[in-house]
Amino acid sequence: MSIQEYIVETKNLVKHYNKGEVKAVNGLDLKVKRGEIYAFIGANGAGKTTALDMISGVLYPTSGTIIVDGLEIPRERKRMAHMIGVAPQDVSVYSDLTVKENIMFFADLYRLEKAQSNSRMKELLGVLKLEEKENELVRNLSGGMKRRVSIACALIHDPKLLLFDEATVGVDPVLRQWFWKYFKELSKKGTTLIITSHVMDEAEKADRIGLIRAGVLIEEGTPAELKEKYRVQTIEEVFLKLAGDEFINE
Amino acid sequence: MSDIDFTNFSSSRMLTVSKRVLRQITRDRRTFGMIIFMPLLIMLVFGIALSGEIKNIAIVVENQDTDTSEAAGIVIKNALDSDTRVSLKEGTYSSAINEIEDGKLSAAILIPADFTTNLQQKAAGGPDVTLEIRIYIDGTDPLIRANIMAALQDALSDALGDQGVQFDETLAHDGAEQSGLDVAIPAVMGFVLTFLVLLLSSLTMVRERIGGTQYRLYTTPLNKMELLSGYVLALTFFGFIEVVSILTISVFLFGATVAGNFTLLMLAAFMYAIVHVLLAVFLSNFAENELQAMQMVPIIALPSMALSGMLVPVDSLPVVAQNISNFVPLTYGIRLFEGIMLKGFDLGNLWLDFLKLGVFLLVFFVLSVLTVKDHNES
């Protein structure tokens, strides 16, 4: 069996609310290649999170198909669970557990061997610069640290697909820079990352960018391709050209 | 507080705060609905439950004094028959004893064959005549015992006036006789368990759901049954701690009687706690926030108190309330706790109540399974 080029493929993906009155995602066709960093950008309310939730199997689509690594989602979502790591927009970790307890809780959900999870946790605490906070209650940590804990929980089982929803929101520029360096390292090792963002300069660091507007993919390409196509200097300008009205109307 | 300053008190600022709080509460429709609905429901249930006096206590009266149609025994039995406090069942004194020991009857009264004869002799001034009625009575509920005795006294006084009748009284359950406190403890235990287990479990469940962490669990291999069982196991552990502490306080501090098997009592309390953990897991689906979850507890616990026999015996409730009490877990909790603690009952006497509690457990488990979510449904 040949390995498919795309790890994620959605076809005519639709999610409607209130009997079709609200069209959060409205016919999304998305193809994400293995090992790439795919930035999914759009204004607030454009449908990024809804699309990501459907890909991760958390939200069932109204219609359309989702294939993740050959598995049909949501039907085979529990088979997919071992291979994906999700860091939601809200820092969803347990604030009354320590950093270590949070990470080990997720390790146990993936039923990792004790030795394996211990060494993996140590590695992640080092990479994410959390060693000194290992036994600290999450509630006592800063926003940036909480986000790092959330990312560590998503990475504990070494997934091949990472879905990060606004992973760097509220993070200071230094830490954001550092996050992207780490994302590149993961990508080099073969991990695919889909990262939603409404911060345009972040998207420039991705391998490819998908621009979503009103639940539809309106443009896609590498940062260089997009800038060249619209004859602008930054992705922000591309975004403003394509989605500016919507942004202003919000 | 040192910085309290009434000189700069602004009533408009005060009203701004009040208006904001009122707006928030009224905007939370469920909370607002409960503010209106809860007093109505609770007052209605308590009003119905407490409206009746003690009545329909099941007793057997065996009257052997039937020589003439005007025999005193017949008059006494008729007077008891028309007394609403008691309800006369068919049976003999000796057959009723077993039923009293099984908790199906509260008392058996035997009026001897020579009762009228002795009465006449006594009235004629006969020297050594004793007028005696035999009673076999459940002494584990002072309220019920007092009502039976009062009904009998009234019947005697109606029929005979003051004739100095003596009672040969035997207490059931090996002479078990309880004080008001003894009798109250099993019911209070049931109520406290209901209240605390529901409160802790529903708050935990709602906090888990609104905390945003459940979203993440949906993306892991954790399935519905694992998630539900995990919650139930953890909450049951706390239920168990509550059972142990309630029993310890009841027995060691208040000196509650445990006439029956302590392990069986623990088992009953533990099973009762699990029923309420599952009920809380199910009900928490209907609470959007912790305030709503907290309000659900009195909505269940207070009507349970009124309808379970905790305040007045179930037999004394209006028929509608009696029917509803069959669907209240506390009814069976109290029966089990009272049975084991006061009457020394074992599984032989209590299997049916255990079974009914088991049915609740199963129903709430199924409802929890059906409503627990493993993905976002919106």
Q: Are the C-beta atoms of B198 and B302 separated by less than 8 Å?
A: no
Task: Give CA–CA dist B98/B225, Å, rounded.
Answer: 46
Cis peptide bond prior to A74, omega within 30° of 0: yes
- Digits of tens for pLDDT over chain B (378 positions)? 556 777 778 888 888 888 888 888 888 787 788 778 877 888 787 777 777 677 889 999 999 988 887 888 898 999 999 998 899 999 999 999 999 988 889 999 999 988 888 888 877 776 677 788 999 998 888 888 889 999 999 988 877 776 678 888 888 888 777 777 778 888 888 998 999 999 999 998 898 888 778 888 899 998 888 888 898 999 988 888 888 888 888 888 888 888 899 999 999 999 999 999 999 999 998 888 888 898 889 989 999 998 998 888 888 888 888 899 999 999 999 999 999 998 889 999 899 999 999 999 999 999 998 988 777 776
Contacts of B375 in chain A (CB under 8 A): 57-60, 74, 77
Domain count, chain B: 2
B244 residue type, one letter: V
Stretch A62-90: mean pLDDT, rounded? 92
Buried b or exposed e, range A108-142, using 16+ CB within 10 angstroms? ebbebeeeebeebbeebbebbebeebeeeebeebe
CA dist B295 and B22 (Å) reads 17
Contact indicator for A240, A247 with CB cutoff of 8 Å: yes
Report the C-alpha gap between B364 and A107 in whole angstroms: 31
- Classify A6-249 by CATH class: alpha beta
Range of the domain at B357: 180-371
ipTM over 0.95: no
CB A160 within 8 A of CB A35: no
Interface test with A, best of B207, B214, B216 (most A CBs within 10 A): B216
Q: Are residues B194 and B171 in the same domain?
A: no
For residue range B50-85, what is the model confidence (pLDDT) as tens digits? 776 778 899 999 999 888 878 888 989 999 999 988
Q: Which of A56, A60, A109 sits opposite B222 (nearest CB)?
A: A109
Contact at CB, B218 and A57, closer than 8 angstroms: yes
Same domain, B190 and B311: yes
Q: Which backbone phi and psi does A163 adopt, to 5 degrees?
A: -120, 105
- Note whether B329 and B356 are within 8 A (CB): no
Among B residues 185-224, those touching chain A with beta carbons less than 8 Å apart:
211-213, 215-223
Question: Are B234 and B329 in a shared domain?
Answer: yes
Residues from chain A contacting residue B215 (CB–CB below 8 Å): 58, 88, 90, 92
Angle, helix B224-248 to helix B262-283, in steps of 10 degrees:
130
Q: How far apart are CA A202 and CA A38, in angstroms?
A: 11
Chain A contact for B179 (CB, 8 A cutoff): no
B216 in the same domain as B156:
no
In a domain, B278, yes or no: yes
| Closest of B260, B245, B311, B253 to residue B49, by C-alpha | B311
Which of B146, B175, B204 is the last residue in one of the domains?
A: B175
Residues B128 and B221 in one domain: no
CB contact under 8 A, B213 and A93: yes
Q: What amino acid is encoded at A116 in this protein? A: Q
Note whether residue B45 is domain-resident.
Answer: no
Which residues between 72 and 111 in chain A have a beta carbon less than 8 angstroms from any beta carbon of chain B? Answer: 74, 77-78, 81-82, 84, 86, 88, 90-95, 106, 109-111
Contact A9, A161 (CB under 8 A): no
For residue A233 the two structure tokens come to: 């200097």
Three-class secondary structure of residue A141 per DSSP: coil
Bridge partners, residue B57, by sequence? B86
Find tokens 């600290």 and name the residue: A136
Q: Are residues B194 and B141 in the same domain?
A: no
In sequence order, what are the beta bridge partners of A194? Answer: A38, A163
Looking at the fold, whether B62 and B151 belong to one and the same domain comes out as: yes
Domain presence at residue B162? yes
Query: What DSSP element (H or E) covers B99?
Result: helix B93-101
The H or E element that residue A71 is part of is strand A71-73
Q: Does the beta carbon of A245 lie under 8 angstroms from any beta carbon of chain B?
A: no
Domain boundary among B159, B175, B191: B175
Q: Clarify whether residues B225 and B302 are in a common domain.
A: yes
d(C-alpha B318, C-alpha B135), whole Å = 28
Q: How far is A186 from chain B (nearest CA, A)?
A: 20
Q: Is the pLDDT of residue A178 over 90?
A: no
Q: What are phi and psi of B283, to 5 degrees?
A: -65, -30
Over residues B126-160, the pLDDT tens digits come to 667 778 899 999 888 888 888 999 999 998 887 77
| DSSP code at position A88 | -
